[in-house]
Chains A and B, each alone.
Chain A
Amino acid sequence: MNLIFEKSVKGRRSCILPKCDVEPVALPENLRRETAPRLPEMSETDVSRHYTELNKQVHGVNCGFYPLGSCTMKYNPRIDEEAAAMEGFTNVHPLAPKSTVRGSLEVLDTLRADLCEITGMDGMTFQPAAGAHGEFTGVLLIKQYHDSRNDTKRCKIIVPDSAHGTNPATAAMCGYQVVNIPSAPNGCVDLEALKSVLGDDVAGLMLTNPNTVGIFDENILEITKLVHEAGGLCYYDGANLNAIMGVVRPGDMGFDCVHLNLHKTFATPHGGGGPGAGAVGCKEFLKPFLPHSAMMEMPGRIQVRAFMGNFLVCVRALAYVMTLGREGIPEASTNAVLNANYLMSRIKGTFTPAFDRICMHEFVLDLSQYEKETGVSALDVAKSLIDWGMHPPTMYFPLIVHEALMLEPTETESIETLDWAADVFRKLYELGRTDPETMHGAPHHTPIGRPDEVKAARSPIVRYDFA
């Protein structure tokens, strides 16, 4: 299809602006642009059709199964959208006097109490805009804590090799040296490897539990104890909280601070670039280092974002927590785990799980043997799934598994959908053995087949060429 700039017709408009009823004021000369912005000129009908056409070319949770591992692409209930669309929340101004926004403040207060209960933390900020920003804020808490004690020799953060790429990036952005430790053969933290790097130069450990291969680390109490004994703090990456919320708490595992992807675990549609919310919770002793916000006045402390962060994401999160309640929250997690194990057991016998044991909310398939036998790669299988109307799983991640496909079905999928998905995987497993060529060329039924990812990365075109 044509780009919106190609559809532009000079002089065409889609709205009639009301007559200006105030005296026009000219901007100072030095602030004015020299050329007019080249915006597309279209009628409202054509704009609407353009975006509807784009909409047909994408796949969302509302279109079909979306088992993108590590991303928790679950269905977000409409009621949470309705709450976030209420005028009392959408029409507030961040500088409005507090006495006029009591309801909004109560939302944040209530959500803070509920999420502290779910995570086992004592304080929380909603400022960070999304997950990686939350990580950054969380690790800054650790840094400030050590600095406040004049413990300045701690320059290292330990990150397991199965971690999300954002973890080492966060540690580096906070000025720390990243120490990678290899995983044990079962995908969990290797205690001996951990011990060998612990010392008085370690500021902390960043960890997800369950980890990136969907396994709950049984040594977690020992791990956090070892880090604490060395004087370090433990940071919990909330990426995989959907497996354990209401069942086990990061605070009880020994973590000192945690970030939550509210957009992911607590019902804001995500994956399209935001807005998100990376709430950061911490234990009592780290509360003095939380960022300043309009609600929790902490003069002299920094802010990590303007005002109170992405407030409407918090409204959705509160609506989600309140509709599920004390019984529903753990039920969502146990169903996420049940669905993952059900799907894994239905696929088993064809593609091979990388770790053949009970998983948490997600699992990884290892296609390296299959690829050797058939020449069909994880990429080929992923692309073939698109023709069946399924979003591909996460590919080639985590790096510790070769030819990896990582599936996270989430709790909002029915047994019929899981059965259908397992059947599709089984069919593709057979197809790869009989007709690998078809799979090398997949997808065959989409407007775009296989974009040249290498060319896109080497010489990206990121703006329209008007010339």
Chain B
Amino acid sequence: MTIKPELQYSKDHEWLKEEDGLTVIGISDFAQDALGDLVFVNLPEVGDAVTAGEAFGDVESVKAVSDLLSPVSGTVAEINEELLDAPEKLNEDPYGAWIIKVSDVTATEELLDAAAYEAFCAEA
């Protein structure tokens, strides 16, 4: 399992990073592995409000549909439309395949650094 040292992680297995004033959100390698091969991604629309701890979209594998939980509250500034046609990118390259970018962040869930997230995954 890969964990990128430069990213922050939520306990719901999303990764975050700051880029050009926006918060970029994706799912971790641990998450994509646990979910299995993804076949469908449901994303919010640009301009939608997201709330920390609440679902902003969902991903579907052949086993189940799982909510994507937002680690921050804010406004959706960009979505990765490429994922709509190619959900497998989340499996192939979880840290390259960002899901949404959020602006005007007002609240953030408790985040873990790479070392803490690795320990968290080991317990899961």
Measured between beta carbons, the chain B residues less than 8 angstroms from A399 are 64
Report A-chain residues with C-beta under 8 Å of the C-beta of B63: 396
Contacts of A453 in B (CB 8 A): 62
State A409–B63 Cα separation when bound (angstroms).
23
Chain B 70-91: CB-based contact to A (< 8 A → 1; otherwise 0): 0000000000000000011000
Question: A458–B64 contact, CB under 8 A?
Answer: no
Tell whether B111 is near chain A: CB-to-CB under 8 Å.
no
CB distance from B124 to the nearest CB of A (A): 11
**In the complex, what residues of B have CB within 8 A of residue A397's CB?**
64
B39 touches A457 (CB 8 A): yes
Q: How large is the interface on B (under 10, 10 to 19, 20 to 34, 35 or more residues)?
A: 10 to 19
Q: Which of B60, B64, B87, B88 contacts A396 (CB 8 A)?
A: B64
A398 to chain B, nearest CB (A): 10
Minimum distance in angstroms from B54 CB to a CB of chain A: 11
On chain B, the residues within 8 Å of A396 by CB distance are 63-64
B contact face: mostly helix, strand, loop, or mixed: loop
Query: Is B30 part of the binding interface, using a Cβ–Cβ cutoff of 8 Å?
Result: no
Contact with A along B47-70 (1 / 0, CB 8 A): 000000000000010111100000
CA distance A282 to B88 in the complex (A): 45
Q: Please name all residues of chain B whose beta carbon is closer than 8 Å to the beta carbon of A458 when the two chains form the complex.
A: 39, 87-88
For window 435-467 of A, CB contacts with B under 8 Å fall at 453-454, 457-458
User: Do residues A457 and B40 form an inter-chain contact, with CB atoms below 8 A?
Assistant: yes
> Which residue of B62, B64, B88 has the most chain A CB atoms within 10 A of its CB atom?
B62
Bitwise, A394-416 to B at CB < 8 A (1) or not (0) is: 00110100000000000000000
On chain B, the residues within 8 Å of A454 by CB distance are 37, 39, 62
Shortest distance from the beta carbon of A161 to any chain B beta carbon, whole Å: 11
CB distance from B91 to the nearest CB of A (A): 9
Question: CA separation between A399 and B64, bound complex, in Å?
Answer: 8
Tally the A-B contacts, defined by beta carbons under 8 Å.
Answer: 16
Complex Cα spacing A399 to B62, Å: 13
Query: Which B residue's beta carbon lies closest to that of A454?
Result: B37
CA of A397 to CA of B64 in the docked complex: distance in angstroms? 9
Task: With CB as the reference atom, state the residue of chain B lying closest to A395.
Answer: B63
Measured between C-beta atoms, what is the minimum distance from B1 to chain A in Å?
Answer: 15
CA distance A396 to B39 in the complex (A): 17
Q: How far apart are the CA atoms of A396 and B35 in the complex, in Å?
A: 12
Q: Give the complex CA separation of A454 and B37 in angstroms.
A: 7
Bound: A227/B97 CA distance, A: 43
Q: Are B62 and A457 in contact (CB under 8 A)?
A: yes
Task: Give the shortest distance, in Å, between A455 (CB) and chain B (any CB).
Answer: 9
| Min distance, Cβ A402 to any Cβ of chain B, angstroms | 9
Q: In residues 66-123 of chain A, which contact B (Cβ within 8 Å)?
A: none
Contact with B along A207-227 (1 / 0, CB 8 A): 000000000000000000000
Chain B residue with minimal CB distance to A165? B65
Cα-based distance from A340 to B40 in the complex (angstroms)? 36
Residues on A with C-beta less than 8 A from B60 are 457
In the bound assembly, the distance between CA atoms of A397 and B88 in angstroms comes to: 23
CB distance from B106 to the nearest CB of A (A): 22
A457 surroundings in chain B (CB, below 8 A): 39-40, 60, 62
Roughly how many angstroms separate A6 CA and B68 CA in the complex, as a whole number?
A: 44
Please measure, in the bound complex, the distance between the C-alpha atom of A396 and the C-alpha atom of B37, giving whole angstroms.
14
Distance (Å) between the CB of A196 and the closest chain B CB? 14
Q: How many angstroms from the CA of A454 to the CA of B88 in the assembled complex?
A: 10
In A259-284, the 8 Å CB interface with B consists of: none
CA distance A458 to B90 in the complex (A): 13
Closest to A379 in B: B63
CB nearest to B39 among chain A residues? A457
CA distance A8 to B121 in the complex (A): 56
Q: How far is the CB of B64 from chain A (nearest CB, A)?
A: 6
Q: Complex: how many Å from CA A458 to CA B61?
A: 10
Residue of B nearest to A399 (CB): B64
Q: What separation, in Å, do the CA atoms of A165 and B37 have in the docked complex?
A: 20
Contacts of B37 in A (CB 8 A): 454
Output the nearest chain B residue to A180 by Cβ-Cβ distance: B67
A454 CA / B39 CA spacing, docked (Å): 7
What are 16 residue pairs bridging A and B, where the CB atoms are less than 8 Å apart in the complex?
A165-B65, A396-B63, A396-B64, A397-B64, A399-B64, A453-B62, A454-B37, A454-B39, A454-B62, A457-B39, A457-B40, A457-B60, A457-B62, A458-B39, A458-B87, A458-B88
Q: Which 8 A-B pairs have CB atoms at the shortest separation, nearest pair first?
A: A457-B39, A454-B37, A453-B62, A396-B63, A458-B39, A399-B64, A457-B62, A454-B62
Known: A457-B39, A458-B87. 14 other contacts (CB 8 A): A165-B65, A396-B63, A396-B64, A397-B64, A399-B64, A453-B62, A454-B37, A454-B39, A454-B62, A457-B40, A457-B60, A457-B62, A458-B39, A458-B88
